[in-house]
Structures are given as C-alpha cells and as structure tokens.
Structure 1
Amino acid sequence: MSDRNVIDTQLQEAIFNFERTTGVVVTIKSDSGAKSGQLAEALAGGKKIVVCTIQTFPFALQAVQELAASQGKRFAVIADEAHSSQTGEAAAKLKAVLSPEELADLGDGGEISSEDILAAQMAARASDKGITYVAFTATPKAKTLELFGRRPFPNQAASETNLPAAFHVYSMRQAIEEGFILDVLRNYTPYSLAFKLAHEGKEMDDTEVERSAAVKSLMRWVRLHDYNISQKVQVVVEHYRSLVQPLLDGKAKAMVVVGSRIEAVRWQLAINKYIKEKGYKLGTLVAFSGEVNDQTSGPDPFSETSKELNPGLNGRDIREAFKLPEYHILLVANKFQTGFDQPLLCGMYVDRRLAGIQAVQTLSRLNRAHPGKDTTYVLDFVNSSDDILKAFQTYYETASLENVTDPNLVFDLRAKLDALGYYDDFEVERVVRVELDPTSKQSDLVAAITPVTDRLLRSYRDAQERLRIARSKDDTKAAKDAQDTMDALVLFRADMGAFVRLYAFLSQIFDYGNTAIESRHIFYRRLIPLLEFGRERQEIDVSGLVLTHHKLADKGKRTLALGGFGEPLQPIYDTGSGSVQERQKALLAEIVAKLNDLFQGDVTDDDQLIYVNNVIKGKLMESETLAQQAANNTKEQFANSPDLSKAILDAIIDAFEAHTTMSKQALDSAKIREGLKDVLLGPGQLWEELREMREYQRSDDV
C-alpha cells in the first residue's frame, strides 16, 4: 500500500519490472471498474501480490467481509510512506477487516450483543495475528515508530527502557556518502525581512483587538503586499538565472514554496509580469488545489487551469508539463512538497514557515541524484538556519524515540470530556446501538444523535446572541460570560477530535479491553461533524495601513554541517490539555508599533517606500496633465506616457534637497527611475488616485 497515487504508480511499475510469473501480481486501478470488487476478487482469487493505495482499501471493506477472504490466511502488509495515513483511521479499518471472525458470525445470523462487537473491535485493533506489517519511510514520526517499531524485548510492553525502533536503517548520511542523494544544506542562504507600517486616514488609538488575530492579519497583509512580493520575485528570478539555470547544461529547474494558495496566485502573476518586462525566456507553472477567490488579482476564481496562471498547460498534468524543457520554475502551495520526484530540481526558494519533518520533506525535493548534478541551492526568506539544521539532524543518522505515549492519556481525556456534562451515558449508548446494528437506517442514527446536537448548537447560538446584546450595551461582564460559554463549546469539540485521533492510534498498539472507551470513540466520531459552531473572528481593518519601510537582506550563503547529536522524536504528552483562556487584548496602534520595533532591524531612510508614496507621488498628484491622461487612458497607456517619465524626473529633482541620497541615485540611474515608476503604478496606485481625483473634480464642476 502507498499513501499517494503517484507512488502507487511507481510501485506498480517497479513490481512488474521484476515479475517473472504471470498472474502473481494484480493492481487495483480506478479505470478498471469498482475498486472494492477488484480488491475483493484479488484477495479471494489467490493473487500473491496486490498493489493499491491506502485510500482504496476502505472501498473493499464490505466485499472482503462477505467473502471472508482473510480467514486462515497469512498476510504481509507492506506500507510505503508510512509517516502518513498508516497511523490513522484507514489503517485501523484495515486491521479490523483482516480479522473478521466475529463479523462473520453476525453475517451467518448469530446474535451478538453490542458489548461483544465492541470487544471484538478492540481485540482486532490491537492484535496482529497472521499479519506482518512492514513500513518504509525516510522521515518517521514518533507515532510511526511506536506503531511499527520493534521492541528490544518483544514480550514486554513498550516503555522508556523498551523503546520501539526501526528494524533496519539506511540513513540519510549513508545515502549521501554513497551518492544516492545529495546534501541539500551545502548552499543554504537565509534572508531577513525588515519593515515598518504606518496608518493613514483613520484613528487607531481607540481600536481594541485580539492580539494574536491582529498580528496574524498584519503579517498576512505584509506577505501579500505587492511590493513585498515583487522584491522577492526579483531575488528569485535573478538568482535562478545566474546560479541555478546554468547547472545541468542549462536544464536545471527550481521550485518556489509559498505559504498559502492566495500567495501562490499573487506570486505567479508577479513572477510572470517580471519575466515579461525583462524579456527573459523562462516558463513558470503554479500548483495548488481547488479554487482561490482573490478580487485584488481578478474578478473570477483562480485554479491551476486558469489561463491567467498556467496559459500553456492545455489540459496536461502539471507534473508531466514541468518535465518539459520550456518550464523552469514551479510555484507550489501545500502541494508537491512531499512525494514529488524531479531530479532536475537544483534550486528551491522558501517563503513559508517550515519546521521539523515538514522542513526535511520539503527541502528533500532537491536531493534526487542525476548525472552531472552536484550542486543545489536553497534561498529561505522565512526560516532560520538553526531551525532547518535541527530538523535535518533528527533524521541524519536514525530517528529515535525519547519515550512512548502513555496509554492512560485516553482515560484522562475521556474523564475530562465526561465531566463537562454535555452528554450522559444513555445518550452515548443510544448512538452506539444504532451504529452497530446492521439493520439500522440513517434515520435511526439521526434520531439517536439529534437531541445532543440540538442542545449543544442551541447553547452556542444563545451565547452568541447574549454576546451581541452585551456588546451593544457595553456590558463587559456579560460579554465575557457569553464568550466563555462559546469558547468552552469550541474547546469541547476540539478535545473530542483529539480523543478520536489519539484512540485511533493507541488502539492499534494497546488492547484497552474497555468498551466504554470504544463507545465514546464511536459517539464522538458521529457528533463532531454535526457541531458546526462557526468561528467568531474579529475582523481587523487593514485598509488604512501603509508599508513605509521594507528591506530584504541577504544574510550570506552558508553550509549547514550535518553531524553529531540529533534530538529524539517526542511522543504524545498532552493532547486535549487545553482550557478556556481570556483572549489577550491590545490596541491596534500598539501592535503596529511593536511589530515595527520587532522588524525594524537595520532599515534606514534609504529603504523608505514613503519617499515614493508620499514625496514623489505627492508632487505627481499636483499635475493637471497627468490627471487628464489618467482619466482618458488605460493604465498600460498611462505607464508609457513620456509626460509621466518627465514628471517623475522633475519630482526627483524637487525632492533632492530633503532626500539627497535617494534622489542622487535616482537621477544617476534610468533603471532606478523605472523602478520608481513601477512602484508608483503598483502599490502606490498613482493611476487610480489620479482618475479618482479627476472624477471628483468633474462631479464638483457639475
């Protein structure tokens, strides 16, 4: 089994390459009829090797149960990319279906109580009789080692002195030394970002906001700012052209990793604009899932197939298209950071927070060997070199556990949830009886769980209304009480989710033998999706913000030397330990000031965008000629106006005395003056404001 279709295809091809006896191997494909029927037929028909994805297996649950394909048989389940869904619900279902004795009895008409069925499910999850599990992964999580690792003393329970470990290790270090992969940390360049914000037009002093929400909103605003993206785009393209593209006889490719799908859209539009303006012959692609609504970039939703983003795709898969020589740079957001194999990748540009296993998996897209490939480059706009090195160090020799997860965490979390009083044992058992009755209908389940759902949703809505009324009356105490009620319900839902995830994992290792625990697992899984409380988010008004300073600084290329001690993997210690806390409030103006203090760094007056936005733009806004041209021409036509270029030069000369250094550089360089024009027409919105001013004058005249 594998977790992703691309790996599934590679495994199928590899197995067929060494298959010598026809009919031994069968692959479960989506283009060959129902997956459940294929898989059941393969298991019942004596096939020795079945290749499928873990996502395919649940389709076959009912068919396999009916055929009882596994009774008396012995199985080896080989799981690739084990760090992913093998530790989740899908693997738990897989183990259950391979031990179906009790379910077979039920199918034969026997009467088995809910208690019996619960006990059977418990035993099936923690039992491995007749099944050998082999899992392969380059970057195991702690849960993976606990689930698949071999204990030094197999007859004793896992503990701090009997830690599960890999049965075999081919380490990153050995793979690098033997030339199977490259060391991607040899040319690592971190960047630092410094900026300052100001606020125009609106008073900020009396605007109290939640601190964490405000910081996130402000940082998101900076990350999406046209000027911030344009500066990074310039660094990426010029670095790629000068250092990356010449590698592999000019065939080297690069990947840009951004933080969100909307950033992917903005980056792609900006990078294509920059490449076009420079006349470079570079092809780019952008990859993300679903659709992105971004009115700033365009009125219609964007997707991978949008002509504005990937005009040359023409229905081709992005993986396949990126192999072609006309494509050089691939931008990704939450996609292709794992399981993507392109040996020509020699450069990576990171504008996303990475930590731990995600950092290793993402940067390791570069490590594929290829004839002549001996150099890779990483430019990182966000992360520190210390954090990246720490992440790789864990997996350089071999990943190990610090301790094992305490199985009693499940009991602790159950006690916490029971004590809240949101449900009682009768309501739990009512849902469980319906769930385990093969003759029950969906309407039976709805009737069993609706009383609990309605009560909790009504409680949340009532608290929302009390909060609205309290705020309108400036009743601080009533508002706090209502908010606490809502927060407690949201936390309750989160803790149920933590219980379900924890139990799905631990029940594969430990046989709890406690049907009350299993009952809650069933009850919570049914209840969680129905509790759509909504999210009470305070909107932070960023419309008046101005980016006054911005400096992106190269901190120097360095080699992050792997070797020595790597921190062990941490087990689960404190899941579901949250509590309702009062949100920290602060004035928006104070938060902006603190952000400025934090990110100011060595920003100087020479880095000020305010020179462009206020001084130069202010003088241009006084021009009647420019206002008339802006009102009567498109933005592109206005950009090519000789009057605009002359007006910019005049404004620079006028500003010379007050801004000597910047004005002197601008006067001496036509390139700088063109850059100033780009800023004025982009984030400066000169054309828009001139048109608006002209319209206002016309309406005034009327």
Structure 2
Amino acid sequence: MPGCRDPYYDLIVVLSDRILLEDQLADAITSFLSPHKIFDCVRSKSSSDLSKLLVGLKFRIVITTIQKFLGLSDQIQVYRAVAIIVDEAHRSHGKSLTRKLHRFLTGESRQSRRITYFSFTCTPNANSLEMFGVRRDDTIAPFYTYSMKEAVEDRVILDVLGDYTTVTAVASVSVRAEAREKIVERGFEATRALFEETSSARCGMEQKAKFVVSHLVRKLQKAGNGFCAKAMLVVPNRPTILEYKLLIEKEIELLPAGQRFAVVACFAPFFASERCEAGSDARPTSERDERVNGVYHKDALGAFKDPGSMVKLVVVADKLRTGFDEPMLSIMYIDRKLSGEGAVQTIGRLSRIASGKTQVCVVDFVNSRSEIVEAFRGYWGTTTLSALRRPPVEKAELDSLASYLNSVGVARSEGSEGLEKRVGRSHLEACLLRYCELCDRLQTESGELSYRRAMAALKQLECKRASRAMGELIECVNVSVLGLRVNGSGKLCIGEGTHELKIRKQTLQALKFSSSPKIVAPV
C-alpha cells in the first residue's frame, strides 16, 4: 500500500457469508480507503477469479464470500501472514469451508499462527465464543465488547425496543364432542397445533393484512422532519410471502388515492408448487418475475431503498432478516416465531441511524413481550460462555455417536422416513437425544455431525410424531379468527449485567413438551 513500509500482513481477506453483506462491506471499505489514496482492494467475482487473485497477489485486500472458497482448486498458496476480517462470525465459521480456507492460505487445515482473525458479531453464540473468545478462569468471553446498551446510549444505533406492540388474534374455536377429551389430554401439543392452525388460517392472514395496511398508513402520515419511512413484514416462508403480498395489495386498492403505496416481495427463487419436479418444464418463482413484483420486478430491493419510490413495504422470510442495512427502515411487522440470536438479528435491522429518524416501531403478531425481552437480554450487555471441562469418556462417547449417526445418513440432507426404516425410530431418536445432551454438557460438537443438524433431525422426528397425533384432532376443530386485539404496547426494558449463554440447553428443552394445558399466548 502507498505510504506503508514492510506491511505485517501479506494478504487481508474480508469475509462474509452473503452477497448482500459483501456488497455493503465493499462499499464501506472502498469509501474509507479511497480518500487515503489506497486502491489496493478488489472484490472476487467467482471461485476461479478468487483463486487467481489469491495466487497472483496483485491486490492485498480481497473482499469475498466464504462460499467461493468451496470451488477453489487444490493449489496451495502459503502466505507469511494473513489477516481475515469476518462479519457475522456467529454463523460463518467452524465448518468444512473454514478448513478449505485455511488449507488454501497456509497449507494446513487447522488454523495456523500465520492467520489472524478479526471477527465481529452482534450476537455471539456458543460456537463463535469457543472459536474466537478469550478464556478467563472458567469463562469464555469476547476479546472486546461494545454492547448494544452502550451503542444505544451513545446514539450509534437506535433502541429497537422503544415502541413494541404485541397483537393477539381473537379466535372462535369449536370442537366436536368426541375430540374434546383428547385435546385436554394432549395439553400443550394440542394448544400449539391450534395456534398454528389459527395463525395460518386464511381469515387470520386477512385480518393481519388489514392491520398492517391501516397501521402503516397512519405511521407514514406521521413521519416528518424530511424522513422517508420504510417498513418490513417478516413471515415464516416464501409461499406465505406471496399470499401476504396479494392480500396487502387488495387492502391498498381500497385506500384513497392519496394514501396508497406499493409493496414488493424479496426472496430466493423456489418452486411455488410441490408438483414441480427437477427436470420438468416448470420454472422456479423468483422476485424478478413480473407477475410477482409488477413494474418493480427488475430491481425490487432497489425500488424499496429508493426514497422517492412509492414502495414503502417489503415482505420477506429469510433473505433480508440478517445483514440488511437500510437506514430508512423504521417499521417492522412480525408474523413468525423468533428467538435468541434470530430475534436480535431480525429486529436489529431497524437500528440504523438516519437524519430525521427519531424512533422505530415493531408490531408482533406471534411472539410475547417477555420472549423478546429474554432474547435481547442475552446480547444487551456482555455475553459469556462457561468454559466447562470436557471429560474424556463423555467426549469419546460424543465422537462415537457422531460417527454412527453420520454413517447412517443423519448428516446428509434427506427425509426422516428413510432413516427410520434403516435404523428404527426409537433407536434413532435416543441416539440423537443423547448426542445433543452431550453437546450441551460439554459445550462442543463433533466435526462429523454439527449440533444444528442433529437438532434439526431430532425436531423433525418430534414434529412428525406430533403431526400424526394432532392431524386427526385438528380435523375435529373449526377455527375462525374474529379479529385482532392489541395485547401490549410500549417500551421493552432489558436488565443490566453480564449474560451467561445457555442457548443449546434452552433449544433442547424446547423439544420436551409438557402434557399439562397452557394459557393461550399471542398468535
């Protein structure tokens, strides 16, 4: 670099795990370096392009996604010293891609002393703390913490919990006499199934669409100080995006001309019909389809980010829930279950500072106020992890279980039916449960089977068993949504102090359903 003599690092790699994040990081880095006459920076276009950049070393700063390392050749380029700057460290590392990255840069699959990581995350989970945290006595903590609490107090970000409203669906439930006793016996499982039936009911979605449109119109009318407010609706999946968009557009058509606005949908391509199979003539549904986003189909996200555009609302499932940086975003509607780091990352999209933006607003149709407080409490101050000792016997059992579960196909993305036939449901469930318990106790996982994949397989078995039992009961129930009721509104307050991270144990306990009836929560 100009003005630098004998720089310590031969190469600086800026890593992210999403193209949208890569775009934002590239813009931020370029805008910082350009005034200092530093142009030794480049973005990789593909895996082959990344390979040429790293081997040729024409640029010392390379911005890329970690997925591009998967397509690299076996050629090894050993550097004296490499700096890796990582964004969203809680989800980007600890997998085979990381080993490929290390091997390409240093010739070793494990992290070498020649590599220095500078890793950033707003939501440090157990994996990221174990990889990048600092051990102090019996605790693992981040090397440095600038907490959300401090950032809010310093006005670096806005308090996203300053105006939080939970909305409850008021439903009428009629049950045939023969099913009443069974529903009472099944307790929480039956209640949860009724929640899902009510939440996904067409009449429930229509009520929520009306609420979103009328609420957003009021908020847009109140927006002042030259600030252009934008809103986001977060839903469970991509088919629901399309349903909501149609319902919202119908409500917008009923508004006076001066109050109307446009809505777009952003999502990764998918087959909207289950009948569409690979190799058929069917084309996946995409946000670039004119029938989905109309006149905005060429660049729906660009239209949303344009302050002069009529687009005021974007409907998403996963695509923009994390890493999306848009200061105009100030209103969020949530119609999906959120917890832990997912809740913090999703609602945190509202925190960006902008001229004229004084506060943000959240309307939640699914989660309770206490659940959101609990999610943010884990990351409001300093997040730590117990540095538990790992008994050799239990560690050996964990590795043995991982090897067995991997050999029968749990690590592969396949349905549970084939696994059940080969292994047996009860035996498979017992092995998965024991593996997850050991991961919780030892705060680790095997390289052969990730904790997340084991939990997903276990949850699939649990849900499948519950759905079999609940399917017949739900057929005996008629649910109709009568309206929506504001259940709570105002600022959510987070407690002080350091939070001990226990994400894995909480996740595991969530699968053990109680048989006693529970009070109905917001749906």
Look up the match of 1:560. 492
Maintained 8 Å contact 2:166/2:363: yes
Alignment of 1:51 onto 2:63: yes
2:93 to 86, 96, 117: 86
Match of 2:238 among 253, 261, 266: 261
Partner of 1:273: 250
Tell me, yes or no, if structure 1 residue 233 matches structure 2 residue 209: yes
Equivalent positions of 1:292-441 (< 5 A) are 292-293=272-273, 303-316=286-299, 318-324=300-306, 325-404=309-388, 406=390, 408=392, 410-416=395-401
Structure 2 CA distance for partners of 1:56 and 1:195, relative to 1, 3 Å: same
Q: Contact 1:78 / 1:135 at 8 angstroms: preserved in 2?
A: yes
User: Which residue in 2 is equivalent to 1:195?
Assistant: 171
Deviation at 1:387, TM superposition (A): 2.0
**Are the equivalent residues in 2 in contact too, given 1:254–1:348 (CA < 8 A)?**
yes
CA distance in 2 between counterparts of 1:15 and 1:420 reads 43
Q: Which residue of 2 aligns with 1:219?
A: 195
What is aligned with 1:243? 219
Q: Is the 8 A contact 2:388 2:442 kept in 1?
A: no
- Mapped contact 2:261–2:311 kept (Cα < 8 A): yes
Greater Cα radius of gyration, structure 1 or 2: 1
The answer to whether the 8 A contact 1:234-1:274 is kept is yes
8 Å contact kept, 2:16–2:65? yes
Deviation per CA, 1:322-366, whole angstroms, max 9, x where unpaired?
123210111111221101111111111112111111111111111
| Kept in 1: contact 2:210–2:251 (CA 8 A) | yes
Instruction: After superposition, give the CA deviation of every residue in 1:608-627 in whole Å (9 maximum; x if it has no partner).
Output: xxxxxxxxxxxxxxxxxxxx
Following TM superposition, by how much is the alpha carbon of 1:418 offset from its aligned partner in structure 2, in angstroms? Answer: 7.4
Instruction: Compare 4-13 and 91-100 and name the one that shifted more.
Output: 91-100
Whether contact under 8 Å (2:384, 2:498) holds in the other structure is no
Match of 1:540 among 471, 478, 482: 471
Rounded to whole Å, the distance in 1 between the matches of 2:62 and 2:38 is 13
1:56, CA displacement in angstroms? Answer: 1.0
1:266 CA displacement: 2.3
In structure 1, the residue matched to 2:122 is: 138
Matches within 5 A, 1:437-516: 460-461=420-421, 485-489=424-428, 492=431
Assess, with a 3 A threshold, how the Cα gap between structure 1 residues 334 and 46 changes in structure 2: closer, same or farther: closer
Contact 1:401 1:571 in 2 (8 A): no
Q: Which amino acid aligns with 1:321?
A: A
What residue in structure 2 maps to residue 286 of structure 1? 265
Contact 1:286 1:332 in 2 (8 A): yes
C-alpha deviation, 1:46, in angstroms: 5.6
Give, as a single letter, the amino acid of the residue that structure 1 aligns with 2:26: Q
Q: C-alpha distance in 2, partners of 1:28/1:421?
A: 34
The 1-side partners of 2:19 and 2:326 are apart by 16
The farther-off stretch of 7-16 and 396-405 is: 396-405
Aligned to 2:84: 77
1:26–1:49 CA contact under 8 A, matched in 2: yes
Cα distance, 1:252 vs structure 2 = 0.8
SS in 1 for 2:347: helix
Deviation at 1:259, TM superposition (A): 2.3
Offset, 1:182: 0.5
Q: Structure 1: any 5+ residue segments left out of the alignment?
A: 102-123, 153-160, 424-448, 450-455, 464-484, 508-517, 602-702
Deviations 1:153-207 (A, max 9, x none): xxxxxxxx2433222222222222222210111111122334232257x964799
Letter in 1 for 2:396: F
Match of 1:28 in 2: 44
Alignment of 1:672-687 (within 5 A): none
SS in 1 for 2:169: strand
TM-score by length of 1: 0.58
Q: Residues 290 and 297 of structure 2 are in contact (CA less than 8 Å); yes or no, is this contact kept in structure 1?
A: no
Of the candidates 18, 30, 38, which is equivalent to residue 4 of structure 1? 18
Asked whether the 8 Å contact 1:245–1:251 carries over to 2, the reply is no
* 3-state SS of paired residue (2:479): strand
Counterparts in 2 of 1:371 and 1:331: CA distance versus 1, 3 Å: same
Cα distance in 1 between the residues matched to 2:23 and 2:245: 30
> In the alignment, residue 287 of structure 1 is paired with which amino acid?
C
Q: Structure 1 vs Structure 2: percent identity of aligned residues?
A: 28
- Residues 230 and 313, structure 2, Cα contact 8 Å, conserved in 1: yes
Question: Deviation of residue 565 (structure 1)?
Answer: 3.0
**What SS does the aligned partner of 2:65 have?**
coil
Which SS does the other structure have where 1:192 is aligned?
strand
8 Å CA contact 1:244, 1:346 repeated in 2: no
**Contact in 2 for aligned 1:82/1:137 (Cα 8 Å):** yes
For the Cα contact (< 8 Å) 1:196–1:600, is it kept in 2? no
Unaligned runs of 5+ in 2: 1-14, 276-281, 410-415
Note the 1:24-173 alignment, pairs <5 A. Answer: 24-30=40-46, 35-45=47-57, 47-63=59-75, 65=76, 69-70=77-78, 73-100=80-107, 124-125=109-110, 127-152=111-136, 161-173=137-149
Whole-angstrom CA distance in 1 between matches of 2:100 and 2:174: 55
Partners of 1:410 and 1:502 within 8 A in 2: no
SS in 2 for 1:8: helix
Deviations along 1:620-659, one digit per CA (max 9) or x if unpaired, are xxxxxxxxxxxxxxxxxxxxxxxxxxxxxxxxxxxxxxxx
Identify, as 1 or 2, the structure richer in strand: 2
SS of 2:66 mapped into structure 1 = coil
Name the SS for the 1:173 alignment partner.
helix
Query: Corresponding residue for 2:279?
Result: none
Deviation at 1:578, TM superposition (A): 13
Contact 1:401 1:570 in 2 (8 A): yes
Matched position secondary structure for 2:27:
helix
> Contact 2:175/2:478 (CA < 8 Å) preserved in 1?
yes
Provide the rounded CA distance (Å) in 2 between the counterparts of 1:198 and 1:177: 50
How many pairs were matched up? 476
User: Does the aligned pair in 1 maintain the 2:334–2:364 contact within 8 Å?
Assistant: yes
Deviations 1:423-455 (A, max 9, x none): 8xxxxxxxxxxxxxxxxxxxxxxxxx9xxxxxx
Q: Which amino acid aligns with 1:70?
A: V
